[in-house]
Every structure is written in structure tokens, then in C-alpha cells.
Amino acid sequence: MNFTQRMRRTRKTEIISPYRDFSVIQQCSGNFMAIQVINETRALAGSGVDIGSHTVNHLWLGKTKDSVVIKELQDSKKALEDILGQEVPHFAYPFGSWNLPVRDAVIEAGYTGACSTISGRNHKGIDPYILRRSEIKGSDSP
């Protein structure tokens, strides 16, 4: 390994090491892929795209122990907030898996809303922690 390769590896480790348990970064491979993901995520947030949290390990939260759910919610939120330098107020349930204790843990973790996988429209008065989604297909047009 030459000097440039060692420097790249060292710099990558310095930037990524605080987030080595963060699943998006763990799933990235190749030189500077994780840094690109971080930079692209920052750019999206900077352009007004809402970046939400989705847990660290993509677990079925409705089937997970409460203590693990709380850790997943808190760690995911903190990692993204550290990366973005701004609040991450929204959450999406992995696999749409939730129950009332999970919903309550999302509230306790400081999120202001969460998306489910329930199909349909949202209306005034709907629970902001069980938001519905509308599927957009490739055949849909404006």
C-alpha cells in the first residue's frame, strides 16, 4: 500500500469511526463510499429534503425487546443529527413493524412524527406517529 492509499484509509477511518455501527455506513463498500453517502446525505438535507431516521440495525421493532427498541431509536437519531448538524425529527418504522409500546418509544426518543407502511391518505387529526403512505408507481404520471 502506497502513501496515498494509507492516507486515504486513515482519513476514512477518522471520519467514519464515530459512526461505525451506523447501518448505512456499514453497508457501504469501496474507497470513500461511506464518505460519499455522508456528503450526499448532507447535500440532500441542505437542499431541503427531510432526512428521517430508520434505526441502526433495521430491526422488526414490533418483535424487539423494549430496551433494544429505545437504543435503536436514540442511536439512529443521534448518529444522523451528528452527521447533519441538525435535528432529525422524523422516523420510519422498518418493515412497517410497530405496536403501541414502539410508538410510545418513538415519542420518548424525541421524534415529532413517524411513517408506517399503512396505505392511504393522511387527514387532519391522524396520529402523527402512524402516518400513512401513498405508493407512487413508475406508470403514474402527474
Which of 8, 82, 84 is closest to 49 using CA atoms? 84
The CA distance from 116 to 119, in Å, is: 8
Which of 30, 100, 123 is closest to 131 using CA atoms? 123
| pLDDT, averaged across the chain | 82
- Give pLDDT tens digits for 62-97: 999 999 999 999 999 999 999 999 999 999 999 999
Rounded to two decimals, the pTM is: 0.73
Residue 134's pLDDT is 86
- Give pLDDT tens digits for 97-128: 999 999 999 999 999 999 999 999 999 999 99
Which of 97, 90, 94, 95 is closest to 129 using CA atoms? 90
